Amino acid sequence: MPFIRPALLALAVLLAAAAAAHPAGPSAAERAIDYRHSVYHVINWNVHKLGDAVDGKVPYDKEAFALQAARVAMLAPLLPEGFPEGSYVKGKTAAKPEIWTHRAEFDELMKKLAAKSAALADVAKSGELDKAKAAFGELTQVCKSCHDKFKAKDD
């Protein structure tokens, strides 16, 4: 079949060119890293605003504070699925490999984060700044304890 071989060769060349033009996208691990970074960015935006109000850097606006607290409470439970098994990629993540060898401890801190952010959102509805300050302090303490243990410093 003299005509088929050149045709197959041409097809192979075309397919190779198409593959080169569309390199395989990010790996599953890279997508997980991207996902968790995105969720952290949105949480961080809101936590900073809450912190500014708590520190008196901006006037306390009860409505805005309650909204930001509610956002954090909504987002915190989205974090754990951003840390699937095998999503440590050296150089692309500040997550320490210990997360996957101490998973129960990590998950416990995540649960605490969800609980403390829900508590803050609840208190924020009351509009009592003093109570909100205490609840905010408890929340950021959870961020810190997990970062101290499971997040690399140089990031």
Please give the residue ranges that form the binding site for ligand HEC (CB under 6 A): 33, 36-37, 40, 43-44, 47, 93-95, 106, 109-110, 113, 139, 142-143, 146-147, 150-151, 155
Q: How far apart are CA 98 and CA 29, in angstroms?
A: 16
Q: How far apart are CA 83 and CA 66, in angstroms?
A: 28
Least distance CB 105 / ligand HEC (angstroms) = 9
3-class secondary structure, 134: helix
Least distance CB 47 / ligand HEC (angstroms) = 4
Nearer to ligand HEC, 10 or 86 (CB): 86
Least distance CB 89 / ligand HEC (angstroms) = 9
CA dihedral 41, 47, 50, 55 (to 10 degrees): -120
